[in-house]
Chain A
Amino acid sequence: MSKYDTFIGLEIHIQLLTETKIFCNCKSNFGDEPNSNVCPVCLGYPGVLPALNEEAVKLSYIVCRAMNCDLAKEGVFERKNYFYPDLTKNYQISQFEKPFGRNGYFEYESGDEIKKIRFHEIHLEEDAGKMIHEGDRSYCDYNRAGTCLLEIVTEPEFKEPQEAEDFLQAFRRAVRHLGVCDGNMDEGSMRCDANISLNLPGKGLGTKAEVKNVNSSRFVKKALQYERKRQEKILKSGGTVIQETRLWDEQRSVTESMRTKEQAHDYRYFPEPDLPPFRPDEAFLQIVEEAQIELPLARKQRFMEQYKLTEVQAEWVCEEKQSADFFEKVVSLGADAVTTAKWLMGNIAKELNARNIAKTDLGTDSCQLTEKRLAELFDLLSNNKIHAKIAVQTLQIIFDEDKNPTNIVKENGWEQSAEDEGELENIVKQILADNPKVVEQIKGGDQKPRGFIVGKVMAATKGTANPQSVQALITKLIEG
């Protein structure tokens, strides 16, 4: 055990899934040609007027509400002044005194425990552009400048780097379920800066270092683990930690000082005169309320309780909102919950994989397997119209030919009608009669030749017979 207390806080930036930027109607797209989504507003030309994107405000309030924040009755945009060419205006429009959300919290799983992290505030701002530095030149691309960015600031209350990682994964899942952000840390649509300080127990926060440039939740943990060791070493030897910004070096797994002259930040915030404060009315708050959903953790717990899924099953089903919705729809159509979960994780996941269909496509037009079709397939299966092997083949054809399972089974003559009409018994009788030596072997207690008989029956019925029924018939006809 360390003799120091650890205090970790996170600042998460998420890019909101809007069609356009926050203050102009340029497209908000990742990966387009440099400077193809720019206009005088987001390039900071003189004399332009920002116009606030309604959807960005709505999505922000949806997040604030889902994160249990006090919602601002008046949200005010302010100019955060700094000189850096990633924004051309020499200021970033952000929020300071009156952010959209304050005092929220979020519950997440860490190990076997449910933990709670509090949020200091959540505010909306414009993102900055991107630069490539090469030789004596910097190349500026302003496609990202002015895209809608929501910043979520936690209290410095994580005690362990592992908690920060667990939280980030849970938070990412939550914003994906809310449909406000795609949570893609590789592409930077979700980013995280972490701060960490150590102090003797009971002494409160220590001097913190901020770690930037971490683009996965696992690296956030690794960077924090490294940083904790580094600070502990300094403190143990009687030194003092310097308040500074450090960059995570992924290749070497170390944090490094940015070595910039650390002047106290003085952003000279002042209210943005071009944008009026936003005051939500009843109708707006109603929309925010209606957009609230059961968050993934609560949903997973409910699925285990209500549908008796195992934790692994519930986890898989609730990973995406689309898969959880799909599951519940299929069950509501009469399918058995555990069977549905097993099929989703097994046969269906395999088919999705083979066809490059995402889990998030479940229940959309991009996926030929609709809830209704799957429920119908299970219905055929549970009523013994088809057996498991045929069901898997039917599933493949649903994907390949975009047809209903009942039609597929009919077209291929796969109904287990033989069984219903007592035909299966006749077929088994005939095959037993044709193979008297095998029958003697089985009678003598050797069970191995049973497989031979089953194989013959399957061939005779073109695979439609239920192998279990065939086994039962063999027992009945031989042993009486």
Chain B
Amino acid sequence: MKTEELLITAAQAQLALPAEEEGRLAAAVTEMLDYFAKMSEVDVENLEPTTHALIRDNALRADNSNPNNKFNNNQEALIERAPESNNNFIIIPNVL
């Protein structure tokens, strides 16, 4: 992977990347990508893509809010797991 591509990826993921790490990480990511590249060696000509191996029929849910759902009464626990929260808001560094 080119360093330039690595920097774009990091920027999109909102990750700060120290300059001295660039070379090492680019090499590591390249190694990972090479592994995936092996898959493109397989001949898939004339094969239908398989997107869903197990589920074949429509899977639908009725439009009912379920007051007994254990999560629907436990929002605080879900919010508290965020690194920072206040007044029910999840707080993050300003992204604007």
Interfacial residues, chain A to chain B (CB-CB below 8 A): 18-20, 25-27, 33-40, 43, 45, 51-57, 76, 82-85, 131-142, 263, 271, 273, 275-279, 281
Contact = CB atoms under 8 A, between A and B. Distances in A.
B95 A133 contact: yes
A22 B15 CA distance: 30
Contacts of A83: 12-14
A276 B90 CA distance: 32
Contacts of B57: 276
Interface string B7-42: 010001110000000000000000000000000000
B75 A135 contact: no
B95 A138 contact: yes
Contact of A33 (B55, B56, B69, B88): B88
Given A273-B52, A277-B52, A138 B63 contact: no
B47 interface: no
A138 B91 contact: yes
A176 to B, nearest CB: 19
A138 B14 contact: no
27 contacts: A34-B87, A35-B75, A35-B78, A35-B88, A36-B88, A38-B78, A40-B71, A52-B61, A53-B63, A54-B62, A55-B63, A85-B92, A132-B89, A133-B95, A135-B94, A137-B91, A138-B92, A138-B94, A138-B95, A139-B89, A140-B89, A141-B89, A271-B52, A275-B59, A276-B55, A277-B51, A278-B58
A133 B91 contact: no
Contacts of B93: 136-138
Given A25-B64, A37-B75, A39-B71, 9 more contacts: A19-B63, A34-B87, A39-B69, A39-B72, A54-B63, A138-B91, A138-B95, A141-B89, A275-B59
A20 B14 CA distance: 31
Interface of B: 8, 12-14, 51-52, 55-66, 69, 71-72, 75, 78-79, 86-96
A142 B71 CA distance: 15
Contact of B65 (A27, A43, A134, A141): A27
B4 to A, nearest CB: 12
Contacts of B60: 51-54, 57, 278
Q: Which of A131, A132, A134 has the most CB of B within 10 A?
A: A131
Q: Name the prevailing secondary structure of the A interface residues.
A: loop
Contact of B63 (A20, A36, A142): A20
B88 A53 contact: no
Contacts, number: 115
Q: Which of A27, A54, A76, A141 has the most CB of B within 10 A?
A: A54
B58 A84 contact: no
Nearest to B52: A276
Contacts of A275: 59
Given A139-B91, A273-B51, A279-B58, A26 B79 contact: no
Contacts of A43: 78
Contacts of B63: 18-20, 53-56
Contact of A53 (B13, B61, B89): B61
A279 B51 CA distance: 15
A20 B96 contact: no
B58 A39 contact: no
A37 B96 CA distance: 25
Contacts of B87: 34
Contacts of B71: 39-40
A126 to B, nearest CB: 14
A263 B13 contact: no
Contacts of B62: 54-55
Contact of A136 (B55, B75, B79, B94): B94
A82 B13 CA distance: 9
A18 B62 CA distance: 10
A25 B13 contact: no
B48 to A, nearest CB: 12
B80 to A, nearest CB: 11
A271 B51 contact: yes
A47 B57 CA distance: 22
B89 A35 contact: yes
Nearest to B60: A54
A268 B1 CA distance: 17
Q: Which of B57, B65, B66, B88 has the most CB of A within 10 A?
A: B65
A136 to B, nearest CB: 5
Contacts of B69: 25, 39
A25 B78 contact: no
A25 B61 contact: yes
Given A131-B95, A275-B59, A276-B56, A35 B90 contact: yes
A137 B64 contact: no
Q: Which of B14, B55, B59, B69 has the most CB of A within 10 A?
A: B59
B58 A276 contact: yes
Contacts of A20: 63-65
A281 B90 CA distance: 42
A52 B65 contact: no
Contacts of A19: 63-65
B95 A85 contact: yes
Nearest to B63: A55
